[in-house]
A and B are shown apart, each in its own frame.
Chain A
């Protein structure tokens, strides 16, 4: 699971008011190289939650993203490379996503998060 996917998922358990961002528990991270697409990254920069992306990438052991970012940084190739790497190349292979309000764990196995809710959580 890429961090772009993490950036758009939220806990949907009944009664939870703010289920975003899901906390990440890491057991195994894998990296897969993909070609960089600058136009796509520029569009995504407007849409991602930056704080959630930094925290997620740190949890995954990647600490190269700047604390604050604004759109002027998109002119820098170095910044684009880091953003690209964090968003699309680091995958959570084994671990869990954890609801920030209830602490409920959604396990991630073979890169696939199991977001199925129990009957009493719907």
Chain B
């Protein structure tokens, strides 16, 4: 599938009608989501024929993108039932078979190294400090092959240091810098549209054979 085609399909997905501020529900736009998964597949072969988990899936965009690019099994997790409802409708409309779980990503119990790749657009931690790094810590335990994640560019040094030193990642590389358009959705947003710089990261977990 071509990048443009993927972006087009993701652009048709339903998004949060009433975003929840405390969960930092910002939609992952089709531009960013398509580039994340397209790179994961075409530069690193981390998607097709793999088991892929989407942490904090929201309306399901990243998991849908993974399924469109040929992931064999996609498992999308979110704490919010309304998001999961929309995400499952999004999957159904594209005739994709995606498994959903309602859970706090940080509290789910896992057996064995079955998940190959974790993809996520974590809460950036503006409302709950360190939330994105908590997600990353779990992702690096669950994935056996790679983790793709978005973090604010302003935290780049911190993300790299923490991933390598505290979470034992064997590598942590910024693939590209993107602009994240966050339309004015919440009361605390002063400007009409907030444009933040985010990094698309690829992390490789410590061991490919580890069980959790």
**Residue ID in chain B nearest A47 by CB atoms:** B114
**Given A113-B102, A122-B107, does the pair A8, B49 have CB atoms closer than 8 Å?**
no
Q: Classify the secondary structure of A's interface with B.
A: loop
Q: Does residue A11 face the partner (Cβ distance < 8 Å to B)?
A: yes
Q: Does residue A37 face the partner (Cβ distance < 8 Å to B)?
A: yes
A111 near B100: Cβ-Cβ < 8 Å: yes
B110 near A115: Cβ-Cβ < 8 Å: no
B-facing residues in A71-86 (Cβ within 8 Å): none
- Give Cα A44–Cα B81 distance, bound, in whole angstroms: 30
Q: Does residue A88 face the partner (Cβ distance < 8 Å to B)?
A: yes
List the one stretch of B71-79, B123-131, B147-155, B184-192 in contact with chain A: B71-79
Q: How many residues of B contact A (CB 8 A)?
A: 25
Q: Does residue A69 face the partner (Cβ distance < 8 Å to B)?
A: no
Q: How many residues of A contact B (CB 8 A)?
A: 32
A-B contact pairs, 26 of them (CB 8 A): A1-B99, A4-B51, A5-B75, A5-B101, A7-B111, A7-B112, A8-B110, A8-B111, A9-B111, A10-B109, A12-B109, A19-B109, A20-B109, A20-B111, A21-B111, A39-B49, A47-B114, A48-B114, A49-B111, A88-B72, A115-B101, A115-B107, A115-B109, A116-B79, A116-B107, A117-B104
